[in-house]
Structure 1
Amino acid sequence: MPTIFHRYNALLKKYPFRSNMITTSILFGFGDITAQSLFKHKKTVIITDEKTGETHEEIETSDYNFARTCRAMIYGMMFFAPISVLWHGKTLPKLKNPFINILQRRKMEQNEHSYKKLHFYDSVFRMSVDQLIFPALVWIPLYNTVMVLLAQHEDPFGVIYNKLENNWFNVLKANWTVWPGFQLVNLYFVPVHLRIVTANIWATGWNCFLRFVHNTAGHGKGSGHKIEELVDIEDDDQEITMIYD
């Protein structure tokens, strides 16, 4: 009797775009709700006493932002999932390591042990191409553009330019702390049709970790922990970075 997983697995193979669009939207929404609920956004505000004119700092904790979750779900469904299917599902698996010539490749394909080595070499090459091109040139600019436009900021293109100018490289460095290793495992062990779902599940934990680092006392910038300082990429008015794989 087919299980829910078997049915879902079959849907991913038969309808890769529709299935991944729905799944990605749900997982992006769940990831944002989880992050907002567990690690509430904290912002330092200056309070002025009207009578004395004295000022002091207070920490404000934001309420749950439903609109932000909707923006994350729209981005996941309409932009991230279709591009991921085209790139991770249809283009990346066709790339082969160019440093292995045709004769050597054919010879390695005939032996089970050598074939595993060949698959590993191809996976390393695919991961390298993916991480050198897509986060920097596609995911980071696309995410900032879409989320700013959906949030209906005044002068949206000015906001997008400022975000990319101030945070592009910091976000890229943060991405490289965690995604290359995961993607190598994903490309080597996970079947092609399940890779996007696997990345989305991983991204939920990544998203929560980013919020934990930014909004938990003793962590993030100034904590003395190199990785935490590196991945603390959120500004007070900036939405959390969802996923750059």
Structure 2
Amino acid sequence: MVTTGVLFATGDILAQAMFPHVDHLDNDNPEEHKDTSLWTTFHYPRTLRAMIYGSFFFAPISVMWQTRKLPLIKNPFIHRYRQIWPHSKIHFYDSTWRLSIDQLFMPSLVWIPLYNTVMTVLALHDNPLHLAKEKLENNWWRVLKASWTVWPAFQFANLMWTPVHLRIVAANLWSVGWNCFLSFVHNTKGHGKGSGKKLEELVDIETDDEEQTMVYS
């Protein structure tokens, strides 16, 4: 829980440090992009929310799933070959089956709904459950596709070669870069919706009203 919370907070700190945004930016005035006096200050409650989510929500479920449940799942289609195939081959087919279950069901049914619900509640939005439901209706499929562009290859390597007790740490380290990448794509002028770039269109999960424009030093 401590490790996951720290790494979630690290991802948010890096995102805020690398991509500071400007409130009420006039898109018709490009000079405002260079005016550092308009940059917002560091938003500590946002980092605290990330830490709380990582420590008290993501970590316990991840531990239960990654270390207690997922390793016990076996590929049912190779049952008759388990006594004759080498361990490395069996491990490959089991890991592939575990990857399929992990990527098909956990993001869609657990992680995306959980993140939307917890973060809207922690942010003390008015009627947070309604807002979470609205976000899921608008963004669930887009977020899921974004997840599939980054996580399957990593998770396959994680399942194949990382010891069970270190898989969550490895995933959390990977997610630091993933969170920063999403922050860049969603919140940098010229990226995301309308950019004409397929990858950016794919991973942009914000509505037009929620878009923020970022600036660089």
TM more than 0.5: yes
**TM-score grouping bracket, smaller chain normalisation:** 0.7 to 0.9
Aligned residues: 206
TM-score in terms of structure 2 length: 0.87
Identify the residue that residue 107 of structure 1 maps to in structure 2.
84
The answer to whether the 8 Å contact 2:187/2:211 transfers is: no
For CA contacts below 8 A with separation 6 or more, give which structure has more relative contact order. 2
Match of 2:154 among 169, 182, 201: 182
The answer to whether the 8 Å contact 1:40/1:215 transfers is: no
CA distance in 1, matches of 2:161, 2:69: 18
Matched, 1:33 2:5: no
Identify the residue that residue 71 of structure 2 maps to in structure 1.
93
Distance 1:93 1:36, change over 3 A: same
Identify the residue that residue 130 of structure 2 maps to in structure 1.
158
Query: Pairwise mapping of residues 12-91 of structure 1 onto structure 2 (< 5 A)?
Result: 21-42=1-22, 61-91=39-69
Decide which moves more: 84-93 or 228-237: 228-237
The answer to whether the 8 Å contact 1:219/1:228 transfers is: yes
Letter in 1 for 2:4: T
Once the two structures are TM-superposed, the CA of residue 232 in structure 1 deviates from its matched residue by 1.7
| Percent identity of paired positions between Structure 1 and Structure 2 | 58
- Judging by fraction of residues, say which structure has more strand: 1
CA distance in 2, matches of 1:43, 1:123: 46
The answer to whether the 8 Å contact 2:186/2:211 transfers is: no
5+ residue gaps, structure 2, are 213-217
CA distance in 2, matches of 1:41, 1:133: 34
Distance 1:95 1:203, change over 3 A: same
SS in structure 2 at match of 1:107 = coil
- Once the two structures are superposed, residues 55-90 of structure 1 have per-residue CA deviations (whole angstroms, 9 ceiling, x without a partner) of 989776433210010000000000100000000111
Once the two structures are TM-superposed, the CA of residue 161 in structure 1 deviates from its matched residue by 1.2
Identify the residue that residue 4 of structure 1 maps to in structure 2.
none
Question: Which structure has the larger Rg?
Answer: 1
RMSD over aligned CA atoms reads: 2.3
The answer to whether the 8 Å contact 1:42/1:215 transfers is: no
Identify the residue that residue 89 of structure 2 maps to in structure 1.
117
Distance 1:173 1:64, change over 3 A: same
TM-score in terms of structure 1 length: 0.77
CA distance in 2, matches of 1:238, 1:172: 19
The answer to whether the 8 Å contact 2:9/2:50 transfers is: yes
The answer to whether the 8 Å contact 2:116/2:136 transfers is: yes
Once the two structures are TM-superposed, the CA of residue 132 in structure 1 deviates from its matched residue by 0.7
